[in-house]
Chain A
Amino acid sequence: AQREADRTHAILNAHVDNSPLAVIEWDDAFQVIRWSSRAEEVFGWEAGEVLNRNPRDWSFVHEEDQQRVAEIMENLIQGRVDHNFLRNRNYTRDGRVIFCEWRNSALFDAEGRLVSILSQVQDMTEEEEANRKLAEYQHRLEQKVEARTSELSQALGEAENSRDQINAILDSVAEAIIVMDSDNKITGLNPAAQGLLGMDLEDVEGRHLSYAIRDESLREKLSLDIRRAGAGSSYQFEFELRTPGEPVRLILARTSVVQDAFGRQTGVVVSLRDITVERQVDQMKTEFISTAAHELRTPLTTIQGFSEVLLTHQDLPQAEVREYLTFIHQKSLAISTIVNDLLDISRIESGKGFSLNRRVVDLVALTRRKVSEYKARDQNRQIDFIAPKGAVEALADADKVEQVLENILSNAVKYTPGGGRVSVRVESEHDVAARVVVEDEGMGMSPEQLAHVFDKFYRGDASNTNISGTGLGMSIVRYIVEAHNGLVHVNSEAGAGTTVEVVLPKGWRLPEAAGPDHTEPAGFQQSEVRKEAAT
């Protein structure tokens, strides 16, 4: 029986040593009583070094795990459980930290006393390392995902910003812009386009162009066939936009193909510009050139014709020669006036303006002379002249003021047919301003004509070809008067006559400086200015 027992014991010991797990047996005082060869391999200590030692006595369990291990093992020692399972860190003989999985079971005798504890230990360090790496990898992955997500949301934000910026630009341009996709469905419509077409973006977004533009031929022109259109192709055309209850507007449309970064044609942008006013101005200029040419040709007919008569007829009576020369002279003066008007307006247009040569000018004398000229030209014309006895002086360019008077008087005479009365008044407005008023009893102007009286090239009744003129006279008048810091005012009633009032500041005292608190004698001020003007 003893041999049989010894054999069984030997077999058991062999099994313990052959186990792939480290096997350690502890006695009731938790001292090592068995330490398998696998335990020697795992932990480094040989059995002889640890037998009869409690793990508290040598550096075996990792400090941070000692408390937990002790608590769990106490349950086993006290018999509250018959086995347990724990994973903790241990030290090896050479001081490395290894991860170990412990399977412990307790054996009690018949009286319930603890006989021994058997521990089977597996070194889990490699697995733990793999887990740690996995966790680390997972963590890095999460970080990457997070970073990518944030990049994407930033890119999305940037895209939104640039879209907002593009929208803001589109919203602020004066041109109407329609954006369409490759199927001619409207994807964008800026406020100018909404105003021009009279529809909201919400109404037309995603809808086919045909919904917004009813006119079929116009629609065809607008919706460029982008399959056939070349890269970056665009073309422009004009069309008339007819809105019920509104005047017809002339629109310049430019249609361009939109390409993405890969050169794919993704849509069409149409810009629409209202060129009604531009075209009107163009037309006015064309008409003006034709008018000016006609205005020059009429006196030229007289000059050319009579000079030829004088050259071919040597034997004309002296009186006739004189009469024809007078015609020629008068018409050459008329041409000179037209040319001067043209040069003036060209100077004004180009922004060069006038240079004013200001001196103290007596408006009474100047106006009287001009009126006499007109009376001499047409004996039948009645022109009343009303002025104070003394001088009415203004600091002004005498030549320019004469031009103003010429333009206003010629209008008054021209538009007062049949020898109707024209009256000219010169007045002094305190010491501040000088005023010239030209009043006629002529055909007058409608409110519509009056509204355009200072417009360049505007002629009250362009169809009335009898009344000549370039339509520049009053524009030049206003320019000259305003250059003098003066004012020009026109009052008119169709059929009743026209009154033109020119106010020029006297110059040696600015109008705003004048007031009841002004105590210095005007004469003193006046002489000061005379000195200045003379230098």
Chain B
Amino acid sequence: MKTILIVEDQQEVRELIRVTLRSGDYDIHQASSGREAVDMARAIEPDLVIMDIMMPGEIDGIEATRILRSGHKGPAPRIVMLTAKGQQVDRQAGMDAGADDYFAKPFSPLELIRKVEHLLEAAP
């Protein structure tokens, strides 16, 4: 079973992603901040992280991605960013920080499933 970590500060959006992905055979974990995501990722070593970029606190999605990429031992997780449409600057910053792909809000749950499946298939 693949492990997925959802990092998103808004409860509704987190819930939406969870509901969307629950039909698949995934072990789903949730974090509501960058700090929590970094701590949790170390513990559960997820196969895929869905990372919101705009999050409060000292660690936003881009910083959390950078930390996960640089300090990670063992197999690196696939990271897909959640950005707002039109935020090209953020998207580029996320890709530079080491994300594999991005996803723009608002999004269609079906598309999210396809993207997640595709990324996990390509995973080493």
Contacts and interface: CB of A to CB of B under 8 A. Distances in A.
Contact of A466 (B16, B20, B56): B56
A308 B110 contact: yes
A302 B14 CA distance: 10
Contacts of A308: 108-110
Contact of A294 (B16, B55, B84): B84
B110 A331 contact: no
Interface residues of B, number: 23
B86 A305 contact: no
Interface in A298-332: 298, 300-306, 308-309, 312, 320, 324, 327, 331
Interface string B67-109: 0000000000000000011110000000000000000011111
Interface string B28-58: 0000000000000000000000000011110
A309 B16 contact: yes
Contacts of B109: 305, 308-309, 312
A294 B106 CA distance: 10
A441 to B, nearest CB: 19
Contacts of A301: 13, 16, 105-107
Contact of B54 (A305, A306, A324, A465): A465
Interface string B1-26: 00000000110110110011000000
A331 B84 contact: no
Contacts of B57: 466
Contacts of A302: 10, 12-13, 16
B110 A300 contact: no
Interface string A451-475: 0000000000000111100000000
Interface size for chain A: under 10, 10 to 19, 20 to 34, or 35 or more residues?
Answer: 20 to 34
Nearest to B108: A308
A297 interface: yes
B10 A464 contact: no
Contacts of A306: 12, 16, 19
A304 B13 CA distance: 11
Contacts of A298: 10, 13, 84, 105
Interface in A267-311: 290, 293-294, 297-298, 300-306, 308-309
B106 A297 contact: yes
Interface string A136-149: 00000000000000
A327 B15 contact: yes
Nearest to A464: B56
Contacts of B106: 297, 300-301, 303-305
A182 B108 CA distance: 66
B56 A327 contact: no
Contacts of B54: 294, 465-466
Nearest to B19: A309
B56 A467 contact: yes
A461 B112 CA distance: 32
A19 to B, nearest CB: 122
B108 A304 contact: yes
A442 to B, nearest CB: 14
23 contacts: A297-B85, A298-B13, A298-B84, A302-B13, A304-B106, A305-B13, A305-B16, A305-B20, A305-B109, A306-B16, A308-B109, A309-B19, A312-B109, A320-B19, A324-B19, A327-B12, A327-B15, A327-B16, A465-B56, A465-B60, A466-B56, A466-B57, A467-B56
Given A294-B87, A298-B13, A320-B19, 15 more contacts: A297-B84, A297-B106, A298-B10, A300-B105, A301-B13, A302-B10, A304-B107, A304-B108, A305-B106, A306-B16, A309-B20, A309-B109, A327-B16, A464-B56, A465-B56
Interface of B: 9-10, 12-13, 15-16, 19-20, 54-57, 60, 84-87, 105-110
Please give me the 8 A-B residue pairs with the lowest Cβ-Cβ distance, nearest first.
A466-B56, A301-B106, A465-B54, A305-B16, A301-B105, A304-B106, A302-B12, A300-B106
